[in-house]
Structure 1
Amino acid sequence: MKLAGQKWTLWVRDIVIGGIIIAAVLAWQGRDMLEQDGSVSIAHQVLPSLQGQPSPLLSDETPTLVYFFAPWCQVCHLSIGNLEYVNNDNIKIVRVALDYANIQDVEAFAAQHEINSPILLGNNQIKQQFNVSAYPTYYLLNTQNEIIGGSKGYSTAAGLKLREFLINYQ
């Protein structure tokens, strides 16, 4: 019986250490992101879509999840499909392409991942405004266009659903 108790203690220790390591990595990744406490407000902007129509970046009616990606980014290739698990009735999802060589690269990315929703074509001004330094970068904004969340790197479908849940109960 004593051996089983020791194994349980080792498992708990390993889980706690793993959690601390994950928290440290996430904190390091987010070190240069904009403040996420609602103190940063983003002005209304319109960007061209991949289809050529001007589209608003943010929504006044629902919270907005802005997903910044680059077509050459391998993590973006892995993560962009996870956005499909977020309920568009609760959160407006905006995909913004940055650091692309040409529009054909963005079109090929969209076709490869069967993205039927609009993709906005970002620019260096948007990249600087949101302090995007790695891909993918996510920002969550409330209906007052204040940043209330964000992260960099891969986000699972479960992680995105959790963000959706949290925003609905704030």
Structure 2
Amino acid sequence: MKIIRDLLLLIMFVGLLQTFMQRDMRSGATPDLPMKTLSGENSAKLLANKPAIIYFWGSWCGICAAIQGTISEVLHDYPGITVALRSGNNANVLSYMQKHKLNWQVINDNDGALAESFGVSAVPAVFILGADGEVSFITLGYVTEIGLRVRLWWLTSGYWVG
């Protein structure tokens, strides 16, 4: 019984911590994104009229490295843009992505201005957008593939009324 109580307390603590850490993160309409990704794709077209992901990460972030496979799998099935936060110049970001075999549409946010406009103070951070382009879900820190897929499914299933 003590184990169950302790587990419930831990879950409550983590939930409260997540809520506190996400308090300044953007909800509703997203700020304007740069028009082009590093590969030259139009960022607005990539996210238009369907549930999508905006993923903030850093080449220096250990947790981001741990969930690269998760993000790649989800981006294989859903549209999205990734934002490299304070990870060096464009060549550094592209080199990192090539080294780690990451085939993502990426915007380089070397000065952190885009992250600041989204209220991102830590990475990894995932914004899940509805078909209307508004933020429906936010995750901060480690996230599982099933966790992202359930949120995206929820948006496409008609159950979400956010």
Query: What band does the TM-score fall into relative to the shorter chain?
Result: 0.7 to 0.9
| Pairwise CA RMSD | 2.2
CA deviations 1:4-43 (Å, max 9, x no partner) are xxxxx223212211211221221122122123xxxx2136
Cα drift, residue 124 of structure 1:
4.1
**Are positions 1:105 and 2:117 aligned together?**
no
Counterpart pick for 2:114 among 111, 116, 126: 126
Cα drift, residue 166 of structure 1:
2.0
Asked whether the equivalents of residues 47 and 120 of structure 1 are also in contact (C-alpha less than 8 Å), the reply is no
- SS across alignment from 1:48: coil
Task: Say how many residue pairs are matched.
Answer: 156
Asked whether the equivalents of residues 141 and 147 of structure 1 are also in contact (C-alpha less than 8 Å), the reply is yes
Cα drift, residue 61 of structure 1:
2.7
Asked whether the equivalents of residues 47 and 80 of structure 2 are also in contact (C-alpha less than 8 Å), the reply is no
Structure 1 equivalent of residue 125 of structure 2: 137
Query: Aligned pair in 2 of structure 1 residues 114, 73: CA closer, same or farther (>3 Å)?
Result: same
> Unaligned stretches of 5+ in structure 1?
1-8
Structure 1 equivalent of residue 25 of structure 2: 33
Taking the aligned partners of 1:43 and 1:10, their CA distance within structure 2 comes to 46
**Are positions 1:62 and 2:62 aligned together?**
no
Structure 2 equivalent of residue 71 of structure 1: 59
**Are positions 1:81 and 2:69 aligned together?**
yes
- SS across alignment from 1:18: helix
- SS across alignment from 1:71: coil
Q: Which structure: larger Rg?
A: 1
> Unaligned stretches of 5+ in structure 2?
none
Q: Percent identity?
A: 23
Asked whether the equivalents of residues 128 and 152 of structure 2 are also in contact (C-alpha less than 8 Å), the reply is no
What residue identity is the alignment partner of 2:65? H
Query: Aligned pair in 2 of structure 1 residues 47, 68: CA closer, same or farther (>3 Å)?
Result: farther
Taking the aligned partners of 1:129 and 1:104, their CA distance within structure 2 comes to 24
TM-score w.r.t. length of structure 2? 0.81
Cα drift, residue 162 of structure 1:
2.2
Cα drift, residue 69 of structure 1:
1.2
TM-score w.r.t. length of structure 1? 0.78
